[in-house]
Amino acid sequence: MSEKNGDLLKGLLIGGLIGVVAGILYAPKSGKETREDIARKADDLLYRAKDGYEEAVEKSKAAYEAAVKRLKDLELLAKDKFYEAEGKVSEFAHNSAETIADNKSRLKNAIDAGTEAYRKEKNKSHRK
């Protein structure tokens, strides 16, 4: 439970006790009846405070467990995205290597064809 919730719970408990005691002390009853009323009201207030505290603890546990689950889900999602991106990078690198090799082969063929054409033209001009 956070410090803020603890302070609120303390304030409610103290304020409730003060209100109960003041109400009982100003009621026209005998000392014994007043003491019994104070004890009964204090027990009731303590019981409600305990219930409030337990409810706050349960809510805190539930919020903590939800946060942990969400973090685990996000971790799995991040891992999935990482592996997906890694696969795409690998595929891109492979495709790029194939494209470069293909372009290199085409360029070599074009140079070879150009060189061959130049030789043929050169041979034609020498024969004349």
pLDDT tens, residue by residue, 21-72 = 777 667 666 767 777 877 887 788 788 888 888 888 899 999 999 999 999 9
Mean pLDDT, rounded, for 86-103: 85
The pLDDT of residue 43 is: 84
Helices (H), the chain: 3-25, 31-127
The string of pLDDT tens digits covering residues 110-119 is 888 888 888 8
**DSSP letter string over 85-105?**
HHHHHHHHHHHHHHHHHHHHH
